[in-house]
Structure 1
């Protein structure tokens, strides 16, 4: 045994003395009860934190796979016995500079996270009062997904998001080659009121968006209206029924559409798409 071992042991005992004294108290002493509770809380927090860190890579992989599946579905592509990666491989992924509307060269859109960019002041823009989607900061770049047939654009898919009543809603809108007509729409992430606002993700409500004209003369014109849309009204092609009992969630969808399809969102990019088609 080293000569300094008793000294170290005495020092350790001195540091632990107050703690050991607490645990030697009678079981009915409130100080001991509090100490045990605190020790359990600390142990549980360590276990929970370690589990969360260990599971994070798996959660991220699952989220990426789920997003790929949503993109394939909204693009109208079928796996047809192929793997999800093979089906997704039919889709061209690009990163767009929202201010210029141009594709970003030399960047990997598959590893880019617009959610992380929105939290980075160097990669996003503060919106101030020009924020109908209530997202505070807009990423300077966004991924877009293109489906081509024989070299011609067939479907353009744009990620969109914005505030609902209780949550940030994330979705994908699929546009026809004209860059103005909806082919499909999906909300794949939301935490709105069950049975009311949560219907924003229902197939029945989302299917009503197909064929709606979202943009006229370069400006978003789509409305989510309270009550039913009169099919005979002159603006019926620009309107979607609101969700019964969920006015604020319905307004949130209308607001995020107006933002992302407007000049602060994909507007410059969509102008370029329409210009390229002549």
Structure 2
């Protein structure tokens, strides 16, 4: 009687097992993808609402979806002209892919690349909060390099397009307890009420140490992150880049004058 412990049979069993496992993993990935896409979209909506101060503690997924659908209007902006464009559908807009495509992005020189992102997308999605056609807030996506990673977040402005309504990051790889304190609600709350521009120039940024409220210009400054100077500098750089000429400055000026 032939033995079952032959190399050929062992290999056949191993190959069959690998094929079965591959099919199981592939099937699971396909089945889980819709849920992953839905959760990713929900997380983004939550972060947009949070930046604008519109996310209530304990809200259910359905409540978040309803709040976003009823209060938020996404629009695409051509950063080159500073005006809205209908070239892309906001529902399918993927800003990171736009930034990587040489046809839809701009290669930045060292002098222009304050946020250390190499390429700036020529189109960005922005989120409007309006009531009866009147702008209440606008939420702007921003990103830039910190110490270890690119930080991705949202900066929300009040209707004057100068006062910060809220600020937060939804993705980064900074050091927990140090640069990772960009997630600290107490630090994020320091941004509320700060002003972006001073006589038309971007003045908003993070200082080393604590802000002296009695010092001239304190309305533009936020306390630094203890032990995280490079992350703090990165936050300042990305804010000043995106609120400057290469970012949203022209768009905000057009929006204020009614020409966006």
TM-score range, shorter chain: 0.7 to 0.9
TM value normalised by structure 2 = 0.84
Q: Is the 8 A contact 2:128 2:135 kept in 1?
A: yes
1:131 to 2:113 alignment: yes
1:59 to 2:40 alignment: no
Q: Is the 8 A contact 1:224 1:250 kept in 2?
A: yes
C-alpha deviation, 1:223, in angstroms: 2.2
Q: Paired residues, what number? A: 248
1:97 to 2:78 alignment: yes
1:230 is matched with which residue: 212, 229, 243?
Answer: 212
Q: Is the 8 A contact 1:218 1:271 kept in 2?
A: no
Match of 1:182 in 2: 164
CA displacement, residues 45-87 of structure 1 (integer Å, 9 cap, x when unaligned): 9689846666444333211110011112222335777622221
- More RCO (CA 8 Å, sep 6+): 2
Q: How does 1:9-88 map to 2 (within 5 A)?
A: 23=7, 50=26, 55-78=32-55, 83-88=63-68
C-alpha deviation, 1:106, in angstroms: 4.9
1:257 is matched with which residue: 227, 235, 239?
Answer: 239
Match of 1:142 in 2: 124
Q: Is the 8 A contact 2:46 2:55 kept in 1?
A: no
State which structure, 1 or 2, has the greater radius of gyration over its C-alpha atoms.
Answer: 1
- Structure 2, unpaired ranges of 5+: 1-5
Match of 1:5 in 2: none
For the aligned residue pairs, the C-alpha RMSD in angstroms reads: 3.0
Alpha-carbon separation, structure 2, partners of 1:48 and 1:221? 55
TM value normalised by structure 1 = 0.79
Alpha-carbon separation, structure 1, partners of 2:195 and 2:203? 8
